[in-house]
Homo-oligomer: A and B are copies of this chain.
Amino acid sequence: MSTESESAAATHGYIDDKTPYLQRMKRIEGQARGIAKMIDEEKYCIDILTQISALTRAVQGVATGLLDDHLKHCVLDAAKLGDDAALAKIQEATDAINRLVRS
C-alpha cells in the first residue's frame, strides 16, 4: 500500500508546520459529523449538499497544500541527489495530481 518502506515513514518532515493541517482535518471531521446529523434529522437535501460541497472544498485545500509542501521539500531535496531521484518523485506527484483532478 505504502509507496515507501515503513521504516522511513515517520521521518519525512516535508511539512513545515503540521499544526494548521491537523486543525483543518479536525474541522473536516466535524463537518462530516455535522452532515451525518443533518441526514439523521432529515434536513433539507439541498442544504446537506451545500455542506458536502464545503467539505469537499476543504479536503481539496488540504490536498493541494500537502502537494505544494511535497514539491517544495521532497522534490527539491531529491533534485539535489540527481535528476533520476527527482524524476521519480515528480512522477509520484503527477500520479497524485491525476487522482485529485479526477476525484
Contacts and interface: CB of A to CB of B under 8 A. Distances in A.
Given A10-B42, A86-B79, A103-B56, A3 B71 contact: no
Which of A11, A14, A36 has the most C-beta atoms of chain B within 10 angstroms of its own C-beta? Answer: A36
Interface residues of A, number: 75
The number of times this chain is found in the oligomer is: 4
A49 B3 contact: no
30 contacts: A10-B41, A12-B43, A12-B45, A13-B42, A22-B36, A25-B32, A25-B35, A29-B36, A32-B59, A35-B62, A39-B66, A45-B66, A46-B95, A46-B96, A49-B66, A49-B99, A49-B100, A50-B96, A50-B99, A53-B96, A53-B100, A55-B59, A56-B60, A57-B103, A64-B94, A67-B97, A68-B91, A68-B94, A97-B100, A102-B102
